[in-house]
Structure 1
Amino acid sequence: MKDSFLQFLALTKRAGKLVEGYNKSEEYIKLGKVSLCIISKSISKNSREKFERLCENHKVKLIIDYEKEVLGSILGREEINVISVIDADMSKRLIEIYDNNQNNRG
């Protein structure tokens, strides 16, 4: 795995700082416990719009990238569309890594 964002996401999982799945993520966002939400590019349009609104309303940073199979492989699952980070410091670092990766792609 070469992508540093995915590597740090796996570390966040091992640290127990992730909430996995649509319903759990929605619940934790509404409770104000999420500082970063990551959804796959392959999520349905309705679900994408729902999480965009939810994250905007609760001031949660949202990253829409990667295929559901790629995100799932990080978590030891076949696929996953929604992952939420519940640790502010790890969220901040993931956002930094992601932004840096985006800047280096162009």
Structure 2
Amino acid sequence: MKKKTNTSGVSESSLQCAGIHELIDWEIVQYRRAVGDHRLDLSKAEGRCVAWQDAEQDFNSHDLAAMGEKWRVEYCGLICPQRNKCLTALHFLHSRKTEPLHKVG
């Protein structure tokens, strides 16, 4: 059986995220925090309490795409315990032409 390769010549089987479940959980927490902060900002700007659903809809229409990529770069580059040996993280970070991220902690 032949391994599939993508356009960069890396096999697709080796490009599977080593910590996908942790990444998804972490992104959910980041999303909820971002929508909550956005809700607070909207409430202050409008002088009333904005409903969560309204803040979420506004956040999704303006900020979600940029934030999703930012969160992925942050998680893969700084947080994931598998970041040193995960080819997905390396491929993702290099293909996005991001600034080098340094290990913390």
Greater relative CO (CA pairs within 8 A, separation 6+): 1
- Whether the TM-score (by the shorter chain) exceeds 0.5 is no
TM-score normalised according to structure 2 size: 0.25
Larger helix fraction of residues: 2
Scaled by the length of structure 1, the TM-score of the pair is: 0.24
> More strand per residue: 1 or 2?
1
